[in-house]
Amino acid sequence: GCWGAERKRVRGSRAMGTPVALQIFVAAAKAVVRVFIIAAVGCWARRKELLDADTARVMSRLNGAIFLPCLLFTVLGKAVKAEQLQNVWLLPIAAAVHIFFGWVLGKGVCRAFDVPREFRGPLVAAASFGNTFALPIVLLDAIIGSGNKVGKLQFTREDNAAMVLYLSAYMTVLTVLMWTLGPVWMKGEDESFDECLDEDPALEGGPPRSPTDGPSVRPIGEARSESRVDLLELELAEGGSGPSEGGDRAGRQSQMSEPKKSLWRRCAAALAPAANVNQLAAVLGILVGLTSPLRRALFDEDGALHVLGSCAELVGAAAIPQVIVVLGASLAKGPDHSLCDRRTAVALGFGRLGVLAMLNVGTYYCLRAAIPAAAVPASKAFWLTFLIEGATPTANNMMLQVQMYGSKRAAGGIGACIFWQYAMAPVVLTGTISLFLAIL
């Protein structure tokens, strides 16, 4: 009897050990397969000529103007609560830190692989912003479940409920920064805000640019956002005008002030995409979440404005599938390596899924040593969320952003980056999550 019980215990312990890695692999594979299945719909539609490149761009604009703002507003509005955010203050800060790590990674890849200037900004954006909700929620739900025991970790039902709060707290900062910095970076390095300062010799102590030197900006690429095109065309029109024939003092003063005007116009043109409806929707969602009466009115079933809230949820539900369909359409002929070759895309994938994950592990140990235990939730699900959020593939929204603000060639490069990262994810992401569970 005792020997039989012991053999059952040994077999049980082995069974517990094997499903841990298998469970993580299946969770990662399910999330990736889901993306590939939906993307296959877009690929099929493109091959059947139901969805051409122009239609995909129109879908992206519609998504960015209506569907995604509704999704951001409802997700943040329902989940963000002032009393709960007090305990998870670290996650919004972590979002900014992870973006910084990604920015450093993107700059390093650009320098190491001599990325074309047109694609440097989009690549930095792809390195900086990870999939922070759709993929993590699938992974965390598979691991935590309704109280799973994974190795030495025992999760509870409360951990599963708190998981959505942790993800939403992380998204409060990440979403705002994604839709502030992302559109600016998607324009490409040729027209970045940093070069606004570099292109003006008057700021370097040199002579001011003469109006006869021609326009102060480079020609814009194809398929830019309409508001930005208007700003840049206005600048080109003014920059190309010659000096006045009178040569009087007023004319010279106007000529001397031209560099300053041109500088501000260039900066305004570079930062114009940062003011967009998705950023506004994220901010409004956070404000609604923090305002309890308004949140209840919109999202409680008996709320006075529940009809509006439920309509916004229905519209927002179409955002993620539509983005993935457009991604699939862009990959119908395989990854486009014209701007982002295979080496660059694979290097970025290992950087996001591997290097950033290791940096996040180091950050985890530093924070556990520096922060009092009472300052953050005691649940292991909190730290698991922190670790996973810093090790996900590029956000699918990067495809939406490049369709809205970048060039067609840059969209192909973003598609190649996402394709190779999701191809690596079942193996590399499984390995990193196994590491995370081992150190918690």
Q: What is the pLDDT of residue 51?
A: 87
Q: What is the pLDDT of residues 8-17, one digit of tens each?
A: 444 444 444 4
Cα of first residue to Cα of last residue in the chain, in angstroms, is: 36
* The pLDDT of residue 189: 58
Q: Exposed (0-12), middle (13-18) or buried (19+): which is 7, by Cβ within 10 Å?
A: exposed
Query: Nearest-5° angle of CA 378, CA 383, CA 386?
Result: 140
What pLDDT shows up at residue 399? 86
Helix or strand run (H / E) with residue 150: strand 149-150
In single-letter form, the type of residue at position 265 comes to: R
- Supply 129's token pair: 């912003």
Residue 140 confidence (pLDDT): 85
Task: Give the CA distances from residue 130 to residues 152, 381, 432, in Å, rounded to whole numbers and listed in that order.
Answer: 29, 19, 15
Neighbours of 250 (CB within 10 A): 10
Res 270: pLDDT: 60
pTM here is 0.71
Reference 228, options 202, 266, 176, 258; nearest CA is 266
208 within 8 A of 258, measured Cβ to Cβ: yes
The pLDDT of residue 93: 94
Closest CA to 124 of 414, 369, 377, 357: 414
How confident is the model at residue 272, as a pLDDT? 65
Can you read off the two tokens belonging to residue 440? 């918690």
Block residue for tokens 């980056």 = 417
Ranges under pLDDT 70 in the chain: 1-21, 23-24, 27-28, 31, 83, 146, 188-263, 265-275
Dist. CA 149–CA 378, nearest whole Å: 17
Q: Distances from the Cα of 289 to the Cαs of 36, 75, 134, 156, 317, in angstroms?
A: 33, 9, 20, 26, 19
User: What is the reported pLDDT for 192?
Assistant: 44
Report the run of H or E that residue 149 belongs to, with start and end: strand 149-150
CA dihedral 235, 118, 276, 133 (to 10 degrees): -170
Buried b (16+ CB within 10 A) or exposed e, 365-383: eebeeeeeeeebbebbbbb
Residue 355 confidence (pLDDT): 96
For residue 54, the model assigns a pLDDT of 84
- Give ∠ CA 17-21-26 in degrees, rounded to 5: 135
> Which residues touch 431 (CB under 8 Å, ≥6 apart)?
none
Bridge partners for 337 per DSSP: none
Q: Which residues contact 146 (CB under 8 A, 6 or more apart)?
A: 157, 160
